[in-house]
Amino acid sequence: MPGAPTMRQIEELMRCDRIVAGGFFGNDIRPLEEIVQADAATLKALKATSDQLAQRMKALRDLGLPYLGNTVAAGEGLEVRIDENRGTLICPFGDGTRHFKTITHCRRLADGRQRRWSDLNIHLIEAHGFFEGQGCAFRLEPADLVELLLLR
């Protein structure tokens, strides 16, 4: 689409830390498209979709939100806690969306395994299939999420 940011512009913004400290790539030197394609392939192999994950992540966030920072049982052996900060983050893909600085902490009671994701993570996965680069503080491993959240 004319005027839409080019992949180069998006990558440039993602590799700097105008939006989040350290950017969205961590120490991953692969191009954006390659990262997205590799994660999509992982999901396909697991017969899962980014949309399924995003919906589950949203549902867990929504379950925890009313408890304002307190841990709550989320069923299926999980508990969640929501941590919120003031302000918003823009989507680095330039789609014009803004996302609250809401972080969902999810813990599996059986083994104590914990994962966390931001509202921007959910959007990046749902709208762009992007799980962030390797080494990034908010990188989410698709296979890991599938196992934890979709029980596969």
Partner 1 sequence: MSETVQEWAGDVRPAVVGTCQVDVNRSTRRFAAQAGQPLLKALERQNIFIPSACGGRGICRQCKVKVLQGGGAPSPVEINRLSPADLEAGVRLACQLQLQQDLQIEIDPELLTIRDYAAVVQEITTLTHDIRRFQLRLIEPKMLRFRPGQYMQLYVPIYPGSSDPINRSYSIASDPVRANRVDFIIRRVLNGTSTTFCFDYLRSADALHLSGPYGDFRLSDGASDILFIAGGSGMAPIQSMLHQMKNTHSQRKTTFLFGGNTVRDIFMLEEMRQFEKDLPNFRFIPIVANVDAGDTWTGERGLVTEAVKRLVQPGPALEAYLCGSPGMIDATVAVLARKGMSDERIFFDKFS
Q: How far apart are CA 138 and CA 140, in angstroms?
A: 6
Contacts of 10 (CB under 8 A, 6+ apart): 32, 92, 93, 94
Tell me which residue of 49, 53, 20, 18 sits closest to 133, measured CA to CA: 20
Task: Find the shortest distance in angstroms from Cβ 46 to partner 1.
Answer: 27
Our finding on whether 115 is near partner 1 (CB under 8 A) is: no
To which H or E segment does residue 17 belong?
none
Output phi, psi for 108, to 5 deg.
Answer: -90, 125
Site for partner 1 in 71-110 (CB under 8 A): 82-88, 90, 92, 94, 96, 98, 100-103
Task: Find the shortest distance in angstroms from Cβ 41 to partner 1.
Answer: 27
Interacting residue with partner 1 among 8, 70, 73, 114 (CB under 8 A): 70
Our finding on whether 114 is near partner 1 (CB under 8 A) is: no
Which residues lie near partner 1 (CB under 8 A)? Answer: 1-5, 9, 13, 15-23, 65-70, 82-88, 90, 92, 94, 96, 98, 100-103, 137-138
